[in-house]
Structure 1
Amino acid sequence: MPLPSNEKVVQTSNALVNTLHDIFGPHPGFRPAHAKGVLLNGTFIPTEEAKALSKAPHFNNPSTPIVARFSSSTGIPELPDTDPNGNPRGFAIRFKLAETPRRAHTDIITHSVDGFPGSNGQEALDFFTAVKDGSIGTYLASHPKAQTFVQLPKPTPVSFGREKYFGVNAFKFVSVDGKDTYIRYRVVPEAGEAYLDEAALKDKSPTFLYDGVPELLKAGPIVFKLNAQIAQDGDVTDDNTVKWPEDRRVVELGTIKLESVADDQAAQQKRIIFDPIPRVEGIEASADPLLEVRAGVYLISGRERRAA
């Protein structure tokens, strides 16, 4: 996973990492955002619809091993699960395509709200700078996209397995016969969504979400459906803050089965660097300028983690 070639993108990515450290405090060995998390092993099984849309290997092989990470927002590793600042929750999925001749993989990174506070890296940096400086109220008054994100409901789920998750950016699927289709990912829990109100949240332990993961697995895999919302001609694909109409077709791409908590959590959490850009044949990045900055943030913070 290389650093972006654009110097301005790298500068913005570095500034975002440093600003997040300033907000949450430096926690060596942990991510500057979504610091608290748990890794799981599992399997992805694609549908025929996925195979028709993309020639990517994980959509065409009978099944693909995955490693996934549930996480909480903020860069605070010990954030209580009952703290509403832990929302939106994160869900990242790595599809392990091959072990040799080199480890090949592609990732999907989602969170539990269908929004983001800016259209590009600079807008994201301006938003988090306002959070750091305590001027967020003034910033939101003049930045409607950020205000929309802040105002979106972000309830706490009863468990990670009862939450829905959204991809931030659009991607282009390329089929075997060369047809292009723009999509946005959605991850839907097979058990259905369920959330806690303030009264119920007060009775929960500060680690209830993470303690609940092995408890859920005792009853069997934690299962999600990976879906894709399909763009129509004219839909905006290079600005994550412009949403497509809800009447757009949604296609099921496959089933995610999380089967066990990964071993060596501390070491793996430091080492794994999820990548917002697909970097696999059959799926291409859209022209959304936020993608390169996000990739830079993930790589820079990952290198910091590994060096800690």
Structure 2
Amino acid sequence: MVATRLRRPLGLAALLAVGFAPLAAAAEGTTAERTITVMNTLWGSHAGLRANHAKGVVVEGSFTATPEAAPLSKASVFGGKPVPVTVRFSNATGLPAIADGAKPANPHGMALKFALPDGEFDIVANSLPFFPVATGEEFLALLTANAQTKPDTPKPTPLEQFVAAHPMVPKAGAGVKTPSSLARETYNGIDAFVFVNAEGKRQPFRFRIVPVAGNDHLSAEEAGKQPPNFLMEGLPATLAKGPVAFTIQAQLANPGDQTKDPTQVWPEDRRLVTMGTLTLSKAAADTAAAEKPLLFLPTNLVDGIEVSDDPLIDARTQAYAVSFGKRSQ
């Protein structure tokens, strides 16, 4: 049974509160190193596994771009020919045995690696509509406040104080629910990136990965009744019967829309372009073996796609690299 630390759940803050271990010494090192240390404090250090999103499943497929994609970006991934893709779906937290239907298993993640002639291209997305904080330093502070909050901590607790000062934290996770299948969830590319086309025109955007079959979510009561591995085992079972498809979309920013704050969404009236179709065809024969060498980095881009001024992009890349180094030891 996964416990929370607050009497009343506070969105993503409640999702993070899954253990009461004392805070490990994390005053030294880079922000990324300290972030991984605090994650290991919250959820334990599990050899060979990711510090966050530890439980996952690897599947394979291909991506084919639409004709509408090439005018926006000269990236080879949008050339129109099928591109092999490796995808890892995951639960939140660093708990490798967390039940798929447990509330802290949200938000679920979806990481994609495209194998292109000119290199690899990654998309790292999750089911949050936006991120709870704007920078890597703020995320470290959120994790630290969570780790410092115990059942007997005097009020207001460090976590309550942090949430009071960062109102987007509870809002980020407020509407996130457990999907009936990993193939029935929308995954958002939280950070803004920039398309560059053949003429050099630059267009800020955010990725959105939408299931062709549509979203389908369970109530908390329904999710709690599911077998502990129903999502991770369910997707391979579905793929054994036939392919699963998503559309990869890009929400385009209007002139003047900010790109550096991932806590702030753009209005829904912004143009949404379907860049192509992702078709998943089979599960990896051995997920545990397949996921070990996989490192998904938001900065792993190809010519025609560039980072924006969002500082969280580099913060995520550094933290993922630190986690990869630790689990590869």
TM-score by length of 2: 0.86
2:54 paired with 1:35: yes
Match runs of 1:17-28 below 5 Å? 17-28=36-47
Could you give the per-residue CA deviations for residues 100-157 of structure 1, whole angstroms, max 9, x where no partner exists? Answer: xxx820100000011112111111111111111113122111222323224x211100
Equivalent position to 2:170, from 147, 153, 156: 147
Q: Which amino acid aligns with 1:129?
A: T
Give distance in 1, aligned partners of 2:167 and 2:220: 28
Q: Is the 8 A contact 1:278 1:284 kept in 2?
A: no
SS at match of 1:229: strand
User: CA 1:201–1:242 in 2, change beyond 3 Å: closer, same or farther?
Assistant: closer
Equivalent position to 1:114, from 93, 107, 129: 129
User: CA 1:168–1:232 in 2, change beyond 3 Å: closer, same or farther?
Assistant: same
Match of 1:232 in 2: 254
Q: Is the 8 A contact 1:17 1:301 kept in 2?
A: yes
User: CA 1:303–1:61 in 2, change beyond 3 Å: closer, same or farther?
Assistant: farther
Q: Is the 8 A contact 1:271 1:305 kept in 2?
A: no
Give distance in 2, aligned partners of 1:92 and 1:122: 23
Cα distance, 1:202 vs. partner? 3.5
Equivalent position to 2:188, from 124, 141, 166: 166
Q: Is the 8 A contact 2:66 2:80 kept in 1?
A: no
Give distance in 1, aligned partners of 2:271 and 2:301: 25
Give distance in 2, aligned partners of 1:147 and 1:164: 20
Give distance in 1, aligned partners of 2:310 and 2:96: 30
User: CA 1:215–1:267 in 2, change beyond 3 Å: closer, same or farther?
Assistant: closer
Runs of 4+ in 1 over 6 A off after TM superposition: none
Q: Is the 8 A contact 1:115 1:168 kept in 2?
A: yes
Cα distance, 1:278 vs. partner? 3.6
Cα distance, 1:61 vs. partner? 4.1
| Structure 1: unaligned runs, 5 residues or longer | 1-9
Give distance in 2, aligned partners of 1:112 and 1:85: 13
Give distance in 2, aligned partners of 1:56 and 1:300: 28
2:141 paired with 1:126: yes
Match of 1:67 in 2: 86
Give distance in 2, aligned partners of 1:279 and 1:158: 32
Q: Is the 8 A contact 1:117 1:123 kept in 2?
A: no
| Structure 2: unaligned runs, 5 residues or longer | 1-28, 150-157
Equivalent position to 1:186, from 208, 215, 218: 208
Match of 1:298 in 2: 320
Could you give the per-residue CA deviations for residues 265-290 of structure 1, whole angstroms, max 9, x where no partner exists? Answer: 22221211101114310000001111
Cα distance, 1:215 vs. partner? 1.7
Could you give the per-residue CA deviations for residues 45-73 of structure 1, whole angstroms, max 9, x where no partner exists? Answer: 00111111111111114110000000000
Could you give the per-residue CA deviations for residues 63-103 of structure 1, whole angstroms, max 9, x where no partner exists? Answer: 100000000000000101121100000000100113xxxx8
Q: Which amino acid aligns with 1:39?
A: V
Match of 1:276 in 2: 298
Q: Which amino acid aligns with 1:168?
A: I
Equivalent position to 1:52, from 53, 71, 77: 71
Q: Which amino acid aligns with 1:27?
A: H
Identity of aligned residues (%): 39
Q: Is the 8 A contact 1:223 1:256 kept in 2?
A: yes
Give distance in 1, aligned partners of 2:69 and 2:184: 24
Give distance in 2, aligned partners of 1:56 and 1:179: 13
The size of the alignment, in residue pairs, is 293
Answer 1 or 2: which has greater helix percent: 1
Cα distance, 1:264 vs. partner? 3.5
